[in-house]
Chain A
Amino acid sequence: MTMIFGVPLAVFMGQLLLGLINGAFYALLSLGLAVIFGLLKIVNFAHGAQYMLGAFAALLGFRYLGINYWLALVLVPLVIGALGVVLERLLLRRIAHLDHLYGLLLTFGLALIFEGTLVNFFGVSGASYPIPSALQGGFQLGFMFLPTYRAWVLVAALLVCLFTWFMIERTRLGAYLRAGTENSALMQAFGVNVPLLVTLTYGFGVALAAFAGVLAAPLYPVSPTMGSSLLIVVFAVVVIGGMGSILGAIVTGLAMGLIEGLTKVYYPEAANTVIFLVMILVLMLRPAGLFGKET
């Protein structure tokens, strides 16, 4: 059998594919963070909690209202996104003119409140969300058994990432948005409602997190702490990609998934730290991140 650095080719291929799937997840989450930071300059520390809220909304909707997975995939991002809009209107807007640090502290506090409240009601063990019947089972690829649901996660996450990138970089609405953050007074003089755009953008970023949460619900136990453990890694991905860079978030998310996956084969003990090692290296060589613009 062909070996790649002492690992059979089949195993190696399997790990690459799994790495890519995890990477798609990182990409989706860091995309939301990058959109919010790039356009609003808010370091959204509540992103992990909003992802967790997405998973919880799917679980509770399924349990108490009979909302199925497909409906949840559409409905939950809308509901949690609307919650994001309310937060932006009530809280974030008031500190928008202050240092970034205040936004970070405020969103961090919000995350603690969301998490603590849910821990109080639901405990920390979490609950399982069933994989929808259409996505059960898997494919025998020869080198590995690929569960259908994981393949779906990869496809869905990539599609949403591409859609977001297209909206921001290639449409008129996206151009307004980018211009509005560069010079909001000028844009308002042209008759563009910049505060509304900002609010909607935050809502959209939050909706992306919630969408990732619904995607994650059948994969991992739905628990109040599921977001906080992931958030730090996602932040590292955003920093490596370049804070605020949309393309950077997507490409780096996928790449970090791959690197982490390979580390799990060759030196599993370092799997949780390898992304941070990459971060250190990148920051030393390119302080603005791989795709970031030097300021």
Chain B
Amino acid sequence: MNSPKQANKMTSKCLLLKRALVSGIVLAAAGGLVTAAHAEISDGEIRIGYLADMSGTYRDLAGPGGLAALEMAVEDFGGSVDGAPIVLFSADDRNSADVGANTVREWIDQRNVDMVAGLVASSVVIAVTRILEENDGLGLVSGSAASSITNEHCTANHIHWAYDTYPLANGTAKAIVDQGGDSWFLLTADYAFGHALEGDVEKVVNDNGGSIVGKVRHPFPTSDFSSYILQAQGSGAQIVGLANAGADTVNAITTASQFGLVQSGQQLAGLLVFLNDVHAMGLESTQGLLLTTGWYWDMDDESREWAERYYERVGRMPTMVQAGIYSSTMHYLNAVQAIGSDDTAAVREQMMATPVEDFFSRNGRIREDGRMVHDMYLAQVKTPGESTGEWDLYEILSTIPAEEAYRPLSESACNLVGN
């Protein structure tokens, strides 16, 4: 990682000057007319920037593990595309939209980065995709939850890969109501993401004949959930839905287990739960939890094979985000190779034209709004008795077909969708 980084630092000024001169000449020659397809790799290198939370709340679900997945993709691809080496950069966005946007701006201006991978906190992603749009870069978003990223915030310069809030609500809440769990109490993180998820869940529950009997909006973040769990118990609702994420979900589930919420006949529904969360809490307190996921390492031979390679390298099993980073990067590199160019529009078009079928995605395809739709899964956390190992955590109950899982284009507010 270091040596190409340093080398690039030294040559970036040189390159910048050269690029400016060359583009000046091209512009002058074409009389201001710039054609999209260059049919070649700019600078003779494919440059990929990895931007993610490397040290904060989302470190474990993306972070250094996501970078490892990205490096695996580059190595598996052979380290170069038609002789053009693939160069990686990485940075910690510290979950700050400003830091993320500035980093990407610098990457594009000074290092000619072609593609930005990772992209976790939704606020950072929305800021970064604006920068990518202004500078004609490409972003492959694997970590974010907000479905607005390919709805009102869609651009022609990014693709959203692993999951979003729409299937989370649609998958988990619908499945539970179908199973007869029709009275709900919601614990919602009191900020944009929680409100969005709460709204999606309320709609799904009401549309399917269930009802919301109560809800509490708790501050983000909260370490002590005992009071809220007591309120949920008092409500008498069958299902206690957790419209929060990360440490808040972990704390809420741990507390619910201490207060015997499940034993007293209520059921927990985690609306955004990652593998690392379940691993951290242990099966004792999470058993029976229903959740929706975009991928699980033990779901079939192909995913197992990749996950075991990842495990050997990182020492942990990958989350759906980390697997998504590998899958999206591979799809990108294949597209670049197929057309022999790293031009953003041309690559995106090629990526859209190719179905996504790999260890990560089943029935995957990229829509014009930039959403990569693929099969999602309803999973249940195993009991300690059922689990055979440290990472044997989920049982996949059913598959939510790609076309049902995500927000249909007919409801899309994205301006790229032709109606």
Contacts and interface: CB of A to CB of B under 8 A. Distances in A.
Interface of A: 8, 10-11, 14-15, 18-19, 21-22, 116, 119, 123-128, 130-131, 138, 144-145, 147, 149-150, 219-221, 223, 225-226, 229-230, 261, 264-265, 268-273
29 contacts: A11-B230, A11-B231, A18-B226, A22-B224, A119-B59, A123-B59, A124-B59, A124-B60, A126-B247, A128-B254, A138-B260, A145-B233, A147-B260, A149-B258, A219-B254, A219-B258, A221-B247, A221-B250, A223-B247, A226-B223, A264-B227, A265-B231, A268-B190, A268-B218, A268-B228, A269-B219, A271-B218, A272-B219, A272-B222
A124 B260 contact: no
A270 B60 CA distance: 29
Interface of B: 55-57, 59-60, 63, 190, 216-219, 221-224, 226-228, 230-231, 233-234, 247, 250-251, 254, 258-260, 264, 276-277, 279-282, 284-285
Nearest to A147: B258
Contacts of B276: 123, 125
Given A123-B60, A145-B260, A264-B227, 4 more contacts: A21-B226, A119-B55, A125-B60, A147-B260
Contacts of B224: 22, 220
Nearest to A226: B223
Contacts of A127: 280
B190 A269 contact: yes
Nearest to B215: A268
Contact of B223 (A130, A149, A229, A269): A229
B253 to A, nearest CB: 10
Nearest to A122: B60
A145 B259 CA distance: 7
Contacts of A230: 223
Contacts of A19: 227
B52 to A, nearest CB: 13
B55 A229 contact: no
Contacts of A225: 57, 247
A126 B222 contact: no
Nearest to A131: B258
Contacts of B259: 138, 145, 147
B219 A261 contact: no
Nearest to B285: A128
A133 to B, nearest CB: 13
A265 to B, nearest CB: 7
A143 to B, nearest CB: 10
Which 8 interchain pairs have the tightest Cβ spacing? A272-B219, A125-B280, A264-B227, A123-B60, A125-B60, A128-B282, A125-B276, A147-B258
A22 B264 CA distance: 24
A18 B255 CA distance: 12
A261 B221 contact: no
A237 to B, nearest CB: 14
A125 B218 contact: no
Given A145-B259, A268-B216, A18 B230 contact: yes
Contacts of B219: 268-273
A124 B226 contact: no
Contact of B230 (A116, A138, A144, A273): A144
Given A145-B260, A271-B218, A18 B227 contact: yes
A126 B250 contact: yes
Nearest to A144: B230
